Amino acid sequence: RRSSDLQCAATLPHHALAFGGYSARWRAGVANVVPAARQHVEGILYRLEASDLEVLDACEGHPYVYERRAKIVHDGKGRRRR
């Protein structure tokens, strides 16, 4: 059963993509977004069920490896989305 729902393409203003860590498990860099004036990060906005968020958090190491934070993004029509 698919419980995630693709909402739209979205832009996170005033942030940049950074690879500030390393995963020994993946043997690769770990992506993050960091505050950055005059920059933005392009991405996709999904709506997730709470159960899917729990599974994602377990895979990603929340709350030990990272802290989840809600951010305001802009969709293709310039509307603010959360």
What pLDDT is stored for residue 26 in this prediction? 80
Residue 60 burial (CB count, 10 A): 13
Q: How confident is the model at residue 2 (pLDDT cuts 50, 70, 90)?
A: low
With 90 as the cut, is the pLDDT of residue 3 above it? no
Average pLDDT rounded to a whole number, residues 29-50: 93
- The reported pLDDT for the residue numbered 43 is 96
71 within 8 A of 63, measured Cβ to Cβ: no
Look at residue 1 and tell me whether its pLDDT is greater than 70. Answer: no
Average pLDDT of the residues in 55-79: 88
Which tokens sit at 25?
A: 């498990």
Mean pLDDT of 29-55: 92
Return the residue matching tokens 């995630």.
Answer: 4
pTM for this entry:
0.83
CB atoms within 10 A of CB 13: 15
pLDDT of residue 61: 82
